[in-house]
Structure 1
Amino acid sequence: MEQTLKKKDQKQLNKWLNGMKAFELLYKASRDGCSNTVFHQKCDNKGPTVTVFYNTSDCVFGGYTSVSWDSTNTYKVDPTAFLFRLYFKGSNSPKKYPTTNGTNAIYGHANGGPTFGAGHDIHSFNGTVALSGRSFPLNGSMAPGTTYVMTGDNAATLACSSLNCYDVEVYSVKDGSVLNEDPWRPVTDSNPKVLKSEIETYSPIDGVKVGRVNILLVGAVGAGKSSYFNTMNSIFRGHVTSQACSGSAEHSLTTNYRKYKVRSCETGKPLKFRLCDTRGLEEAQGLDASDVVAILDGHLPDKYMFNPAVSISPDTPGYKKSPATEDKIHCVAFVMDGCSVDVFPDKILQNIKAIQQKANQRGIPQVIILTKVDKACPYVEEDPGTLFYSSAVSELVEQVSQLIGLPRAHVLPVKNYEKEMELVEDVDVPALISLRQMLRFADDYLYNFLDEEED
């Protein structure tokens, strides 16, 4: 059962809290039971919280405190605490009610639920309240105006004087993302038409017999490798596509090695690069470093079917024993889910490090495609155009840079097309910037190859 607090209501709370906050659901009466014991188990000593009541008169109201709930049967001082109303009889009607001086802001009621103010302004319930039909007839009380400044409002105008509630929720309030005035990564070319044109006219450097460059996408299952190709394909096709299989699954949805072409919607001709998709990295099975070596060196043909139980060898059907430079990988892109950085599996990290070592031995440049960054920042989720202004994304880039051991400039955050039905320019721009950077790095690889040939 998911939280009830809507995104726009979180935005309203953020205005009152003077910042961007993250709301994590700690307690939900309809899920956890309406009980003082469960409330204290889940909410005591958790720092700042927001409590929200949803009553049967279609009023949504509650309170915020920056101090922790406890079971000491004592009042707490909190000058930042406030009561609030979000909806009145179903209509959006936000209003904030500050505390008078901060004393008696909340009460750590051992035998009760969330309790605000002396008197009490809002006392939710005592003991355990059973569900009656679809609601909880809370046995507490409301006398707002004792500790909080109601500016003419009262229990009737706050909540229709009703504590008969469909639900009671308590959220942990943590520091979230903020938007910087200046971009953390200045982008001079943010026009998607200019970026598209630059990529459409791209051609590998002269002097090397390479008609197009190969970019290898490597990442854990579900990181967004195939979705990244679909995003790039969508941009150049002119509408959202799903050519590569993508989605959520226990094991990799990619079973073949694919050298995907991206075609210009104007000419229909393939552009001069390939996005090479592989099986996802897994802790127990999937692509390993030895398999990747065969790919890096150009031994595998397009559409090669992976067999997790058998490693690739010169005896593998279709194995190219004498690959040309055009068959090899010219840039490696590690695709990482921005939501899983804090819990990244050690086994998969070890695989990535092993692949890095093999790529470094061959002088192959590497980048990180950081996907799902919109999930890391509510601002970016609402407006992808804020990606390069988001402090949360900037911190994530720094974290991934240190985890993988690549410079920040090699970490390229993107939002793949997932829920959208039509193209969005602010989604296109970071994706195009990431692709352009990989093409430039691929040229660096070719320049090194050319230097060696000339020497």
Structure 2
Amino acid sequence: MTEQLTGKFMDQLESWIGTGPKIFTLLYKITRDGCNATTFHQKCDNQGPTVTVLYNQQGSVYGGYASANWNSPGAYIQDGNAFLFQLKFSGSEKFTKFPLVNAVNGMYGLATYGPTFGSGHDLYTFSGSINPAGGIFTLNGYIKLGTSYSNQGVTVDQINNDTMAVTELEVYRLTDGEVTPWRKTPEWNEKFLETLMEDIVAFKPPREMGLSEVRVLMLGPVGSGKSSFYNTINSIFKGRISQRARSGKASHSITTVYTPHVTKSRSGSALNFRLCDTRGLEATQGLNILECNYLLDGHVPDYYEFNPALPITSETHGFVEKPSFADKIHCVAFVVDASCIEGMPPKLVEKIISIQEIMNHKGIPQVVLLNKVDLACRKVAAKVESVFKSASIHEVVEKVSTMFGLQFNNIFPVKNYVSEMELDVDTSIIALLALRQILYLTEDYIEGLQEKLKRVKVSTVKNKQSSEKYDEKD
């Protein structure tokens, strides 16, 4: 059995505690260890700061944080840093902190009681031993906020659905410590930013394929930040905030024109890639699968304006009948909103998967730009550099990896410049880390095609020679 407390909830608790990064170690779990007060104390007494979390059938998650040790002398335990909290209510996230108003009665320790907070008590989980029925533990405790902890205007039924029946209760030990990053990078500073910029400026596609630049198609739901990602990249190389691509919020795609955006270095020379912006994806409207196929194969002319009422066909004016390899797409970057992955409409997900099947058939590499990570994690909002130490972002990356069937290291968290007036080193670094890897993947794809063409040529020559020898014998 694994712990149920999600990375996002760990980040939220860490933010409320406010004393830096924490390592969460599961001490006690009633579905594993039994719902027994004696067992709770054996596993949790004198373990330092802990967080107790309860989960119920209705999808509510709540509990309490204690900075003092649990013990069992039958007395109140003073703890000025304790607080109660809720993380979900009836299946929806609801972050509420119930602060302590009486530090003397922060916790209560008794050998026959489970985790108990406040005088009276504000949160009394259970006493004795509780046996489950059908996977449900009907605890004999209660919630009665307002004595030692402020109820913040929230009633009991708005916390635990007016029931102490739970599916799980967990207690975690919290220790200070630098969290090991789930993706390692060099130290983030001006020097690393310059290195990334130099690597991208130095990128050149193989000339043997007739390429002077590669094309990266940006696809994603309306409002995901495709145009803003280009603006972010352009801003970094321009040395100031730039808004060349039109972006914003709307019910339907603001971008209607297929635009292969050029990015220039500080010297003014064009870099060897195009970030190709196009219409946003929608479940029933927006770019359709056939149009995506035409884009991938290079049939759609630059600056073509999509018409929802008249999809592009081979008869459309400007349709590229015989596209060159330079016209085609060499990598696809799906841009999605990290803060609402679970809210993506199923039909839209199905549409994206159908488009991916076409790309897979063509062998085109794919990545995901996981945008708006600052909205998905408060820790990242405060410090972008912490993105690869954020448990909640790590979880979202894993979900997206599974959803899109892509390797974990092909999912890149990013944050666009959308409200800033000045450039920020960390925001620029995370964007360039993604772009550099995209260019590397594109390079690998093109080199793979080169090898394939070489093998085909060798095979053709050998077949021709064999045929000629056979003809001579005749």
Question: When the two structures are superposed, what TM-score results if normalisation uses the length of structure 1?
Answer: 0.68
Paired with 1:310 and 1:213, the residues of 2 have a C-alpha distance of 29
2:228 aligned partner: 227
Deviation track 1:185-242 (CA, whole Å, cap 9, x = no partner) reads 1124751100001101111024211000000000000111111111111111111111
CA contact (8 A) 1:215 1:276 kept: yes
The answer to whether 1:278 aligns with 2:269 is no
Counterpart secondary structure, 2:434? helix
1:243 aligned partner: 244
Among 153, 177, 181, the residue aligned to 1:168: 153
CA contact (8 A) 1:373 1:393 kept: yes
Paired with 2:203 and 2:231, the residues of 1 have a C-alpha distance of 20
Paired with 1:83 and 1:263, the residues of 2 have a C-alpha distance of 52
Matched letter for residue 99 of structure 1: M
The answer to whether 1:332 aligns with 2:346 is no
Distance 1:45 1:337, change over 3 A: closer
1:297 aligned partner: 297
Q: Please, which runs of 5 or more residues in structure 2 have no aligned partner?
A: 1-11, 25-57, 65-79, 88-96, 110-115, 125-142, 161-169, 457-474
Paired with 1:210 and 1:418, the residues of 2 have a C-alpha distance of 33
CA contact (8 A) 1:202 1:272 kept: yes
Residues 74-89 of structure 1 correspond to what in structure 2 (within 5 A)? 84=100
Counterpart secondary structure, 2:427? helix
Counterpart secondary structure, 1:252? coil
CA contact (8 A) 1:16 1:96 kept: no
Residues 45-56 of structure 1 correspond to what in structure 2 (within 5 A)? 46-48=60-62
Distance 1:379 1:97, change over 3 A: farther
Paired with 1:47 and 1:309, the residues of 2 have a C-alpha distance of 47
Deviation track 1:41-73 (CA, whole Å, cap 9, x = no partner) reads xxx9944269xxxxxxxxxx99944699xxxxx
- Once the two structures are TM-superposed, the CA of residue 84 in structure 1 deviates from its matched residue by 2.6
Distance 1:95 1:434, change over 3 A: farther
Paired with 2:404 and 2:301, the residues of 1 have a C-alpha distance of 29
Distance 1:270 1:45, change over 3 A: closer
2:370 aligned partner: 370
Worse-superposed segment, 12-21 or 255-264: 12-21
- Once the two structures are TM-superposed, the CA of residue 82 in structure 1 deviates from its matched residue by 8.4
2:120 aligned partner: 104
- Once the two structures are TM-superposed, the CA of residue 386 in structure 1 deviates from its matched residue by 0.5
- Once the two structures are TM-superposed, the CA of residue 290 in structure 1 deviates from its matched residue by 0.4
1:438 aligned partner: 438
Distance 1:416 1:261, change over 3 A: same
Counterpart secondary structure, 1:351? helix
Distance 1:169 1:233, change over 3 A: farther
Paired with 2:15 and 2:390, the residues of 1 have a C-alpha distance of 19
Paired with 2:346 and 2:274, the residues of 1 have a C-alpha distance of 30
Paired with 1:341 and 1:82, the residues of 2 have a C-alpha distance of 28
Identity %: 35
- Once the two structures are TM-superposed, the CA of residue 182 in structure 1 deviates from its matched residue by 2.1
Residues 51-450 of structure 1 correspond to what in structure 2 (within 5 A)? 64-65=83-84, 84=100, 98-101=106-109, 102=116, 104-106=120-122, 115-116=144-145, 168=153, 181-188=179-186, 190=188, 191-264=192-265, 266-450=266-450
Matched letter for residue 211 of structure 1: S
- Once the two structures are TM-superposed, the CA of residue 451 in structure 1 deviates from its matched residue by 2.0
Paired with 1:189 and 1:122, the residues of 2 have a C-alpha distance of 42
Paired with 1:308 and 1:20, the residues of 2 have a C-alpha distance of 51
Distance 1:96 1:216, change over 3 A: farther
Distance 1:96 1:307, change over 3 A: farther
Distance 1:292 1:122, change over 3 A: closer
1:156 aligned partner: none
Paired with 1:123 and 1:183, the residues of 2 have a C-alpha distance of 36
Matched letter for residue 62 of structure 2: P
- Once the two structures are TM-superposed, the CA of residue 10 in structure 1 deviates from its matched residue by 8.3
- Once the two structures are TM-superposed, the CA of residue 347 in structure 1 deviates from its matched residue by 1.5
Matched letter for residue 429 of structure 2: V
Paired with 2:359 and 2:330, the residues of 1 have a C-alpha distance of 10
Matched letter for residue 262 of structure 1: T
Deviation track 1:151-176 (CA, whole Å, cap 9, x = no partner) reads xxxxxxxxxxxxxxxx835796999x
Paired with 2:373 and 2:81, the residues of 1 have a C-alpha distance of 31
Distance 1:440 1:11, change over 3 A: closer
- Once the two structures are TM-superposed, the CA of residue 107 in structure 1 deviates from its matched residue by 7.8
- Once the two structures are TM-superposed, the CA of residue 322 in structure 1 deviates from its matched residue by 0.9
Matched letter for residue 218 of structure 1: L
- Once the two structures are TM-superposed, the CA of residue 20 in structure 1 deviates from its matched residue by 9.7
Paired with 2:434 and 2:232, the residues of 1 have a C-alpha distance of 12
Larger helix share, 1 or 2: 2
Paired with 1:432 and 1:362, the residues of 2 have a C-alpha distance of 27
Distance 1:317 1:185, change over 3 A: same
CA contact (8 A) 1:49 1:172 kept: no
Residues 14-53 of structure 1 correspond to what in structure 2 (within 5 A)? 14-15=17-18, 46-48=60-62
What RMSD, in angstroms, separates the aligned Cα atoms of the two structures? 3.8
Paired with 2:120 and 2:288, the residues of 1 have a C-alpha distance of 60
Distance 1:223 1:95, change over 3 A: farther
Distance 1:301 1:98, change over 3 A: same
Matched letter for residue 371 of structure 1: N
- Once the two structures are TM-superposed, the CA of residue 180 in structure 1 deviates from its matched residue by 5.6
CA contact (8 A) 1:179 1:386 kept: no
Paired with 1:284 and 1:327, the residues of 2 have a C-alpha distance of 28
CA contact (8 A) 2:210 2:325 kept: yes
Question: How many pairs align?
Answer: 347
2:460 aligned partner: none
Counterpart secondary structure, 1:304? coil
Distance 1:450 1:10, change over 3 A: closer
Paired with 2:434 and 2:59, the residues of 1 have a C-alpha distance of 43
Deviation track 1:304-334 (CA, whole Å, cap 9, x = no partner) reads 0001122221111111111111110000111
Counterpart secondary structure, 1:262? strand
Paired with 1:45 and 1:287, the residues of 2 have a C-alpha distance of 36
- Once the two structures are TM-superposed, the CA of residue 411 in structure 1 deviates from its matched residue by 0.6
1:157 aligned partner: none
CA contact (8 A) 2:338 2:396 kept: yes
- Once the two structures are TM-superposed, the CA of residue 259 in structure 1 deviates from its matched residue by 0.4
